[in-house]
Amino acid sequence: MRRPDASWEDVFRGPFEVSQLFAMPTANVVGAYQLRLYGDASLLSERDVLSTSSVAALGFGDLAQLEYRQSAAVSHRVRTHRELFGLPSLGVQFELPLRERRYVPRFGVALRFGLPYGQRGESLDGATTRPSYDERATDLYLVASLPLPGVALHLGTRITAASLESTGTASALELERTLVLPALGVAVVVNPRSTLILEASMIPRFELPIDSAPAAIRSDPYARAGVRWNALPWLTVDASVGYHLELQHKREPPTSGIDALVDWDIRLGGELAVPWGAVLCRTTGVFCS
């Protein structure tokens, strides 16, 4: 709706493409001249820790989007804390320009360059008791999305070069590992404005050296189920229940299985679509179609 005489109602009516489930990117990309901002948070994933994640995606030509993304990861940095956090990256995702056919999936490919996520160290009387670490993950992400009547299936694979390195200490630690992290998502329309979403994926886990336990990079399953409510064409509200299962119980405190309900969390998020091209056209007359 990039017309100078368009009403604000028309400008924000859409349609707007959504390019991800809760955390899993789909094969769709944000539309041209549009920006999408997504964020969610939980106060319940770990004790006294606010866990957040966010995505900002800028669409180009209906085939690509530039994005800043915080992908889910887990850091085990002190004995009693496992922190679910968003690992930042800058990237670009393309939707393959294939002719659309019924029962034929769409495909997307993304390349994301990992930005360092700093885990601050601790010092006592000038002596370092725990060094600082940078965690980072660079991804090649492949995804297929198959829309069916009333339901859509998404299958993706994230090939991640994950690294963990200490900063500012003499005893340097550099650890790298390539992980293959599959992801699966299902979206079911339950009414005209609401979608039930189930997704499960493997996410990287960074284990910092604690006491005698060495550093390690592993992967764990992470699943979420919840509802996306399209409150307005340009505003969606997400709420979901999530669970991170630690596969290898190598560390203290010993982790429990899926029956440990206290380890589940509730996340609340929202996504805002900004039709910046249409807004600029309406206000200044540029970027009009």
- Residues in 199-258 that interact with another protein by CB under 8 A: 225-233, 236-237, 239-241, 253, 256-258
Helix (H), strand (E) counts: the chain: 2, 15
Residue 103 binding another protein, by CB under 8 A: no
Q: How many CB atoms lie within 10 A of CB 166?
A: 22
Q: Could you tell me whether strands 194-207 and 64-78 are parallel, antiparallel, or unpaired per DSSP bridges? A: parallel
Rounded Cα distance between 136 and 116, Å, is: 5
Site residues for another protein, window 172-191 (CB under 8 A)?
186-191
Please give the helix or strand (H or E) that residue 70 lies within, else none. strand 64-78
Which CB sits closer to another protein, 115 or 245?
245
Nearest-approach distance from CB 167 to another protein, in angstroms? 30
CA distance 146 to 137: 27
Cα dihedral 247→248→253→256 (10° resolution) = 30
Nearer to another protein, 99 or 212 (CB): 99
Of 15 and 182, CB closest to another protein: 15
For the beta carbon of residue 10, count every other beta carbon within 10 angstroms. 14
Q: Rounded to the nearest whole angstrom, what is the least distance from the CB of residue 118 to another protein in the complex?
A: 26
- Smallest gap from Cβ 229 to another protein, in A, equals 3
Q: Name 127's bridge partners.
A: 124
Residues 60-89 touching another protein, rule: CB under 8 A, are 62, 80
CB of 141 to another protein, least distance (A): 16
What's the closest the beta carbon of residue 36 comes to another protein, in angstroms?
Answer: 11
268 lines the binding site for another protein (CB under 8 A): yes
- Please list every residue from 118 through 157 that binds another protein, using CB under 8 A: 145, 147-154
